[in-house]
Amino acid sequence: MKIWTKDEIVARFDMERAVRMVEQGLIAYSRKTAQVPPIQNFRFESSNGECCIKSAYVDGAATFAVKVSSGFYNNPAAGLPSNDGLVMLFSAKTGAPVALLQDEGWLTCVRTAIAGQLVARALAPHEVHGIGIIGTGVQARLQLEYLRTVTSCRDVHVWEPNAERRLRFADDMSVFGFSVHAYESAEGVAINSNLIVTATPSREALLKSQWVQDGTHITAVGADGPGKQELDAWIVGRADVIVVDSIAQCSKYGEVSHALSAGLIQEERLIELGTLLASGKRGRDDSQGEQITVADLTGVAVQDAQIADSVVGNAV
Amino acid sequence: MKIWTKDEIVARFDMERAVRMVEQGLIAYSRKTAQVPPIQNFRFESSNGECCIKSAYVDGAATFAVKVSSGFYNNPAAGLPSNDGLVMLFSAKTGAPVALLQDEGWLTCVRTAIAGQLVARALAPHEVHGIGIIGTGVQARLQLEYLRTVTSCRDVHVWEPNAERRLRFADDMSVFGFSVHAYESAEGVAINSNLIVTATPSREALLKSQWVQDGTHITAVGADGPGKQELDAWIVGRADVIVVDSIAQCSKYGEVSHALSAGLIQEERLIELGTLLASGKRGRDDSQGEQITVADLTGVAVQDAQIADSVVGNAV
C-alpha cells in the first residue's frame, strides 16, 4: 500500500481530471451504478467532536474508497486544526489496500468545491453580476476559486458574523483578482448578488427569503448533518428548481429537509445532481430570467472515491 | 500516525490483555456504553469478493476504530490469500489518526477466537470429553487453540467436506498436543463431542439436530452475513440457552435469524454475550447435565476496537 502525504497529493492533483471524475461519480450515483453504504457517524460530546465514515464504489472502477473525516471543535484552542481526514483505496479485484491518502481533509474540501462548480455550470444565470459568499472559511474560499472557470464575474459580496474575518477574507481573495465587498449583514450580499454560495456550519438560517432577488441561483454546502441549516426554508419553497446531490441524504438532513418537513415542497420536486449532469442540459430555463434555483449539497461518498482515484488512479 | 506491520502486531500482542479488553468491549456493547454505527457492506460480483467496514468507540477509550476487512474468493487461484484487513485508530480527543494496523485480517481472526473462548468459559460443560470442530481453516485452528485454557480435554473430532484438508488439520493440530480424529461426516463429530465449534463459510446447515447429544455446547462463528448458516435451525430451537454476541446482528443474519424466521424461537429467548459476561455467572445450569447451549457469534465492531487498542494502547 502506497502512503500519500498531503503535499504529494496536492502536487499530483489534476483539477480537470478531478472535476471530470467527480462528475462521473455523481452521475453513477444517480444511475445507481455505484455502491454507497449508509454513512457511519460518531459524536464525542466531551471533546466536542464528530466523525463520519463514507464509503463508495463506482461500478467498473479499479478501487473502492473508505473515507474518514472528523471535526473536533475544541482543537483550535489547542493550536490544532478542527478538521482532519484521510481516504483509503482498496482493490475491487483482490480487496488489497492500494493507497492511503493522508490528505488531512483537503480532498473533502476540494470535492465539495468541485460539486459547487458543477452546479454553477448548470444553474448559474448566464450573466452573473455579483457573486455572494456567506462564510469565510476554507470552503468559502475554495468555492469562490472554483467559480472562476464558470463565470467571468469577479465582483464578490461577502458576509459572516465576525467582522475581522470578513475583512481578512476580502483582503485575501483580492490578491487572487477578486473585487471583494464585505457587508455587515447577509442582506447586503443577497441584494447585490445573483450567484450565492453559503458555506458555513450554521445551525440557523442565515439567508432570508425576502432578501433574495429574482433570477438568483443559490448553492448551499454547509448543511451536511442533522441540525444544520443556512437557508430560510422559504427560499427552498419559493425556488423554481431544486437540485440536490442526494435525494436520500438531503431529505434527511440537508436544507431541503427543513422545507420538506415544513410542507413547503414535496419530494417529487427534487432533481438529483447526477441526473441533471447526465442530461447535459442547463438546469434553469434561461428564457425566464426571474427563476430562482437552489442546490443543496450534503456530500456523497462517490465524490470521495472519485477524487481519490483521480489522484492515485494512474499509479495503481 | 504510526503504521504497524502484521509482524509488529503479532510481536506486541498480549493474549491476556486482549482477552480482557475484548470482554470489556462486549460488556460495554451490551450496556450500550459504546457507539457502534451500522456495518457498511460491499459486494463485488465480478471478482467474487466482499468487504465490510466495522467501526466502534467504547466510551472512555482514548481511540475509536475503523476496520476494513475483505474476502475475495478468487484470490487463492491467483496465489493470494482470500482474506485481508486493516484497522485504523483515531484519537477520540482530537480526531487525529493515531495508528494504522496492517494486520491482514489477523486481528479479526483472533478477536473471533477470543469470543469463542469467552463463550466456552461460560457455557461449556464442566467435563468436556470431546471437542468437535466443523471446518479446518484458520478460524477453526484458532478456536481450538483458544479453547486450550478453558478445558484440559485434548480429544478433538473434526469434519469438513474435503478429505485432504481434514487429514492435514489432524496432522497439523496433533503437533500442538491435540489428539485429532477426522470423520467422513459431521455426525461422527457430533456424537463424540460435547463442546462443538463450527467455523466455516457454509450457506447450508452442516450440523443436524438429531446428531447433537444432550449436554452439548455449540459455538457457531461462521454465519457473519446474510445467507450463511452452519446449524440446523432445530438445534437453536431445541437449545435451553441461546447466547448471541449482538441481538441486532444475530436476529438479522446469524444462526438465530433462521430459527427466528422459522418461528422456532422468540427474540426474548436471546441473551447477549456482554450481558452474560457482565453477570460473572455461568450461562448453563450445571445441575442439569443434559442442557444444550448455543452461542451465535457474528462479530461486533467493539471487539475490533478493543483488540486493536490492546496492541497499540500503551504506545498511544
Domain that holds residue B12: 2-107+302-315
**What residues of A are in contact with residue B72 (Cβ under 8 Å)?**
93-95
Among A55, A75, A102, beta carbon nearest to B40: A55
Q: Tell me if chain A has a CB within 8 Å of the CB of B47.
A: yes
Assigned C-alpha cell, B110: 483472533
Whole-angstrom Cα distance, residue A94 to residue A63? Answer: 10
pLDDT reported for residue B314:
62
Asked if A144 and A271 sit in the same domain, the reply is yes
CA distances from A222 to A85, B44, B268 (A): 17, 33, 44
Q: Give the active site residue among A32, A54, A67, A208.
A: A67
**Mind listing the pLDDT tens digit for each residue in A154-202?**
999 999 999 999 999 999 999 999 999 999 999 999 999 999 999 998 9
Which of the four pLDDT bands, split at 50, 70 and 90, describes residue A223?
confident
- Report the pLDDT averaged over residues A222-233: 90
Q: Is the pLDDT of residue A314 over 70?
A: no
Asked if B247 and B119 sit in the same domain, the reply is yes
Mutate to test the interface with A, among B50, B52, B66 (most CBs of A within 10 A): B66
- Buried (b) or exposed (e) across A201-232, using 16+ Cβ within 10 A? bbeebbbebebbeebbbbbbbbbbbeebbbbb
What's the CATH number where A96 sits? 3.30.1780.10
Q: How far is B98 from chain A (nearest CA, A)?
A: 12
Asked if A226 and A286 sit in the same domain, the reply is yes
Mutate to test the interface with A, among B36, B39, B70 (most CBs of A within 10 A): B70
**Among B211, B174, B186, which residue's Cα sits nearest to residue B135?**
B186
What's the CATH number where A269 sits? 3.40.50.720
**Among A245, A308, A311, which residue's Cα sits nearest to residue A64?**
A308
B208 is catalytic: no
Q: Tell me if chain A has a CB within 8 Å of the CB of B3.
A: yes
**CB-CB under 8 Å, B57 with A44:** yes
**What residues of A are in contact with residue B81 (Cβ under 8 Å)?**
none
**What residues of A are in contact with residue B47 (Cβ under 8 Å)?**
92-94
pLDDT reported for residue A315:
56
Among B35, B38, B78, beta carbon nearest to A38: B38
Assigned C-alpha cell, B217: 455446547
**CB-CB under 8 Å, A72 with B95:** yes
- Buried (b) or exposed (e) across B16-43, using 16+ Cβ within 10 A? ebbbebbbbbbbbbbeeebbbbbbbbbe
Asked if A246 and A130 sit in the same domain, the reply is yes
Whole-angstrom Cα distance, residue A213 to residue A191? Answer: 6
The ipTM, to two decimals, is 0.91
Domains contained in chain A, number: 2
Q: Tell me if chain B has a CB within 8 Å of the CB of A73.
A: no
Q: Tell me if chain B has a CB within 8 Å of the CB of A40.
A: yes
Asked if B153 and B28 sit in the same domain, the reply is no
Whether residue A274 is contained in a domain is answered as yes
3-state secondary structure of A307: helix
Q: Tell me if chain B has a CB within 8 Å of the CB of A163.
A: no
- Report the pLDDT averaged over residues A247-276: 96
Asked if B295 and B306 sit in the same domain, the reply is no
Q: Tell me if chain A has a CB within 8 Å of the CB of B70.
A: yes
**CB-CB under 8 Å, A57 with B90:** no
Q: Residue written as cell 475509536?
A: B64
Asked if B287 and B306 sit in the same domain, the reply is no
Among A38, A40, A72, beta carbon nearest to B94: A72
Asked if A79 and A178 sit in the same domain, the reply is no
CB contacts < 8 Å between A and B, how many? 110
Asked if A130 and A154 sit in the same domain, the reply is yes
Whether residue A183 is contained in a domain is answered as yes
Which of the four pLDDT bands, split at 50, 70 and 90, describes residue A224?
confident
Whole-angstrom Cα distance, residue A119 to residue A126? Answer: 13
Asked if B273 and B167 sit in the same domain, the reply is yes
Whether residue A47 is contained in a domain is answered as yes
**What residues of A are in contact with residue B80 (Cβ under 8 Å)?**
94, 96
- Report the pLDDT averaged over residues A5-27: 97
Which of the four pLDDT bands, split at 50, 70 and 90, describes residue A316?
very low
Whole-angstrom Cα distance, residue B154 to residue B146? Answer: 12
Q: Tell me if chain A has a CB within 8 Å of the CB of B71.
A: yes
Q: Tell me if chain A has a CB within 8 Å of the CB of B37.
A: yes
User: Nearest 5°: phi and psi at B197?
Assistant: -120, 130
Q: How far is B54 from chain A (nearest CA, A)?
A: 9
Asked if A99 and A242 sit in the same domain, the reply is no
**CB-CB under 8 Å, B95 with A70:** yes
Q: Tell me if chain B has a CB within 8 Å of the CB of A55.
A: yes
Name the more confident of B95 and A224. Answer: B95
Residues of chain B with pLDDT under 70: 314-316
Asked if A34 and A128 sit in the same domain, the reply is no
Q: Tell me if chain A has a CB within 8 Å of the CB of B80.
A: yes
CA nearest B40 in A: which residue? A37
